């Protein structure tokens, strides 16, 4: 194992970020989100918190629970348990849901992708229940899956009672847990095909058309915002979880219990503005770029090979602050044969002593095994 300080890493030719430190959280009393009961602002990649206000307080979150409904739907498609073009029959139970909906027809069939899109764009309760019944057999069974997945994500202050967020005893979450769920949801590229839609017609198989308008107004009015979920009930107040990206920095901002729709959009925007102005994401170790130092190989005519990172290591840092950044290179003994792309070790980034990222190290070039023919040629050259 090799521990590389900033200076040593630079000398070795690694692409290293100098002068970084772990972000310092904004105190809640500075009131980036004055109108809400709870708030949370973090880096989407690392989860590093920038601002929090009553972030772990258990509160109703209304339709923001559909973040989990969408996550399980996309995961079902990824696993092959569901296909996007599959036709789903809608039950009377699903078609009869109140609140925001696209007015699904009972006993009609709709494409799974079409239903997911309506959940993401216009928060359709009927589509949520239709998807829940298809994936788990019933909404109750699907809710069990939601709660199990929440535990897997580390959402310790979350309990779902339905898949829509409509008022029901007992259900709750918190601003921090909502950020965890949204961080997981946005890992699915397919989600962005839905979340960025502003206005679209939902065409029913019987010829009817329902116009869908995105409930997340920041999609249209905040630079870089391309996803999120709104929520409102009298019990929960006005809620919003949103994600936005500028350059290499992607953020997640959550508010629960704002006193008006305008206030929730204002507070989320103000939090995002603060983070984009004061923080940045820098590449510490670039992917597929050879480290400056080569590593020896045994049993090959190639004496040494270069290594590179399988994926980039990035660091979310406060602008202008200096701190302590170290990179640990752990490479196994290299013995031929080695093919380009073989995993031969790992690199771990630490910021102020805290692990901030890890990536596999792969061989940037091949080192074939030393053969009898190589030995013969070498002997012939020495003889001459």
Contact present, 45 and 281 (Cβ < 8 Å): yes
Pairing of strands 295-298, 334-335: parallel
Find out whether 83 and 107 touch, Cβ atoms under 8 Å: no
Using CB atoms within 10 Å of the CB of residue 218, give its burial: 0 to 12 exposed, 13 to 18 middle, 19+ buried. Answer: buried
Of the listed 37, 53, 66, 217, which one is catalytic? 66
**Residue 66 falls in the annotated catalytic set:** yes
Helical ranges in 237-304 per DSSP H = 261-278
- Out of 91, 100, 123, 127, pick the active-site residue: 123
Please list the helix, strand and coil fractions of the chain in percent, rounded to the nearest 5, in that order: 30, 30, 40
Kindly give, in sequence order, each residue whose CB lies less than 8 Å from that of residue 217, ignoring residues fewer than 6 positions away: 265
Whether residue 223 lies in the annotated active site: no
DSSP string, 116-139: HHHHHHH--HHHHHHHHHHHHSSH
DSSP 159: B
Residue 63 annotated among the catalytic residues of the structure:
yes
Question: Nearest Cα to 240, choosing from 116, 225, 71?
Answer: 225
Nearest to 46 by CA among 348, 344, 314: 314
- DSSP-assigned beta bridge partners for residue 64: none
Closest CA to 284 of 8, 9, 16: 16
Please pick, among 63, 73, 127, 195, the residue that the annotation labels catalytic: 63
Q: Tell me 165's DSSP state.
A: -
Residues with active-site annotation: 63, 66, 123
């Amino acid at each position: 194992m090799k521990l590389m300080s900033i200076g040593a890493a630079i000398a070795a030719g690694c692409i290293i970020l100098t002068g970084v430190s772990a972000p310092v959280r904004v105190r809640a009393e500075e009131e980036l989100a004055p109108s809400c009961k709870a708030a949370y602002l973090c880096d989407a990649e690392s989860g590093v918190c920038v601002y929090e206000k009553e972030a772990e307080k258990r509160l109703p979150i209304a339709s923001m629970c559909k973040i989990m409904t969408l996550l399980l739907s996309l995961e079902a498609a990824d696993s092959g348990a569901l296909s996007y073009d599959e036709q789903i029959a809608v039950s009377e139970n699903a078609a009869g849901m109140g609140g925001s909906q696209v007015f699904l027809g009972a006993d009609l069939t709709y494409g799974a992708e079409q239903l997911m899109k309506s959940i993401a764009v216009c928060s359709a309760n009927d589509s949520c229940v239709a998807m829940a019944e298809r994936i788990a057999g019933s909404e109750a069974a699907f809710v069990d899956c939601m709660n199990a997945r929440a535990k897997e994500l580390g959402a310790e202050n979350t309990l779902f009672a339905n898949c829509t967020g409509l008022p029901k005893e007992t259900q709750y979450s918190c601003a921090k847990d909502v950020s965890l769920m949204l961080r997981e949801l946005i890992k699915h590229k397919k989600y962005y095909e839905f979340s960025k839609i502003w206005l679209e017609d939902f065409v029913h198989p019987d010829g009817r058309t329902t116009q869908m308008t995105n409930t997340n107004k920041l999609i249209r009015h905040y630079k870089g915002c391309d996803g999120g979920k709104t929520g409102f009930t009298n019990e929960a107040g006005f809620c919003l979880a949103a994600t936005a990206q500028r350059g290499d920095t992607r953020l997640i901002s959550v508010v629960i219990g704002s006193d008006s729709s305008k206030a929730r959009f204002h507070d989320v925007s103000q939090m995002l503005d603060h983070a984009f102005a004061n923080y940045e994401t820098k590449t510490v170790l670039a992917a597929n770029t050879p480290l400056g130092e080569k590593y020896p190989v045994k049993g090959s005519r190639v004496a040494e090979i270069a290594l590179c990172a399988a994926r980039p290591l990035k660091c979310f840092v406060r602008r202008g602050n200096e701190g302590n950044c170290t990179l640990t290179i752990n490479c196994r003994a290299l013995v031929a044969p080695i093919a380009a792309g073989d995993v031969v070790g790992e690199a771990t980034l630490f910021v102020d002593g805290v692990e901030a990222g890890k990536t596999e190290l792969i061989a940037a070039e091949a080192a074939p095994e030393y053969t009898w023919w190589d030995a013969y040629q070498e002997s012939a050259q020495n003889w001459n």
